[in-house]
Amino acid sequence: MRIAVVGATGMVGEIMLKVLAERNFPVTELIPVASERSVGKEIEFKGTKYKVVGLQTAVDMKADIALFSAGGETSLIWAPKFAEAGTTVIDNSSAWRMDPTKKLVVPEINATELTKEDKIIANPNCSTIQMVLALAPLHKKYNVKRVIVSTYQSITGTGVKAVQQFENECAGVEGDMVYKYKINRNCIPQCDSFEDNGYTKEEMKLVNETKKILGDDSIKLTATAVRVPVVGGHSEAVNVEFSNDFDVTEVRTLLHNTDGIVVQDNLDTFTYPMPRYAEGKNEVFVGRIRRDESQANTLNMWIVADNLRKGAATNTIQIAEYLIAAKLV
Ligand SMILES: NC(=O)c1ccc[n+]([C@@H]2O[C@H](COP(=O)([O-])OP(=O)(O)OC[C@H]3O[C@@H](n4cnc5c(N)ncnc54)[C@H](OP(=O)(O)O)[C@@H]3O)[C@@H](O)[C@H]2O)c1
């Protein structure tokens, strides 16, 4: 497979290269792509050095698959050009996620919807992926009615410049600010920009993408997304009301038997998921699984995942692996 990585010099792009190498993805030629600023820079992949190229050069190289993580604007303009050249695009930005003609895929849940005709495939938002992976098996069994989610999101979710702001603050150095406020020793109740309804884009992604992936518009969902001074991954406190009652032990078993989920839930040993320990891992970790005693048929859980891995690079590469296995590319 000839693989283009668009945004190869960025936070997600760097992890894409790592995950491709770790999973022994069948790369015969790597085409690292970034902005004009980075053209000519060298990127190392599995011991070989590759020169970064610009977008038009990459289109002309007609890769089999292009993994995009270079922002929404780049995706809107360039994904169709790659697709026209015969390259299948898997896009990490929000550009195509809610387009009714594009599939929004978490492989463990809905990869089987993909066909040869899908030339631009959308990868969901990082905070959505980790939540829906846990919701999917529970929805099948008990039917999700309503979800209340509060997120505690890693700085790495805002890209390299945000990590630089955090490091500058920790070192007491003045530098460019990506967030409106200092992030060190703070919590910022704003991830992405605000929409007219008073919610942030990140919050509305959780609402809209969940319904699309689970294929159920009747699910009610409300979200508060918060940026916290953490780098290893996103954490989420998730409260779920079901139509049907459940048994907590059975919930644990269902989650334990779901591909891509690791249940970490033992109060005797103080075992629960934390971003520091999820960092660098491909799985979604679920713990603090307990009944909400204030309301019938309602569950609380705590979900953690490395946003750069399952929330971005790993999920994208799993989609590519599926395309190859199903002979769709
Ligand atoms: N971070 C996350 O947790 C996460 C999770 C899911 C999805 N995403 C999405 O992934 C994308 C990248 O995020 P990131 O965190 O990796 O950001 P980042 O660290 O800021 O990296 C951005 C990458 O995009 C490239 N780029 C920027 N403008 C470009 C242009 N006009 N043409 C070509 N390449 C361009 C940059 O190249 P230069 O180095 O040349 O500037 C760099 O490689 C975003 O769409 C983001 O929403 C991020």
Which of 5, 6, 12 is the pocket-test mutation for ligand 1 (most atoms within 8 Å of CB)? 12
Is 38 near ligand 1, meaning CB less than 6 Å away?
yes
pLDDT single digits (tens) 199-243: 999 999 999 999 999 999 999 999 999 999 999 999 999 999 999
Q: Where are the alpha helices (H) located in 52-125, listed in sequence order?
A: 55-60, 72-84, 107-110
Statement to judge: residues 43 and 17 lie in one domain:
yes
pLDDT single digits (tens) 112-153: 999 999 999 999 999 999 999 999 999 999 999 999 999 999
Statement to judge: residues 106 and 224 lie in one domain:
no
Distance CA 179, CA 228 (A): 11
Q: What is the pLDDT of residue 77?
A: 98
Q: What is the pLDDT of residue 145?
A: 98
Provide the CATH number for the domain around residue 17.
Answer: 3.40.50.720
Provide the CA 53 distance to its chain's centre, in angstroms: 25
Q: What is the pLDDT of residue 155?
A: 98
Predicted model pTM: 0.97
Statement to judge: residues 108 and 137 lie in one domain:
no
Q: What is the pLDDT of residue 14?
A: 96
pLDDT single digits (tens) 94-117: 999 999 999 999 999 999 999 999
256 is catalytic: no
The share of the chain scoring above pLDDT 70, in percent, equals 100
Q: Identify which of 48, 45, 8, 55 has the alpha carbon closest to the alpha carbon of residue 24.
A: 45
- Mean pLDDT score, 76-88: 98
Statement to judge: residues 66 and 170 lie in one domain:
no
| Domain that includes residue 87, residue range | 2-124+312-325
pLDDT single digits (tens) 238-294: 999 999 999 999 999 999 999 999 999 999 999 999 999 999 999 999 999 999 999
- How many domains is the chain partitioned into structurally? 2
187 is catalytic: no
Statement to judge: residues 267 and 285 lie in one domain:
yes
- With contact defined as beta carbons under 8 Å apart, do 159 and 165 qualify? no
Looking only at the bridges linking them, the beta strands covering 88-91 and 120-122 are parallel
Is 74 near ligand 1, meaning CB less than 6 Å away?
yes
User: Which atom of ligand 1 has the smallest separation from the CA of 93?
Assistant: 45
- Mean pLDDT score, 304-325: 98
pLDDT single digits (tens) 150-198: 999 999 999 999 999 999 999 999 999 999 999 999 999 999 999 999 9
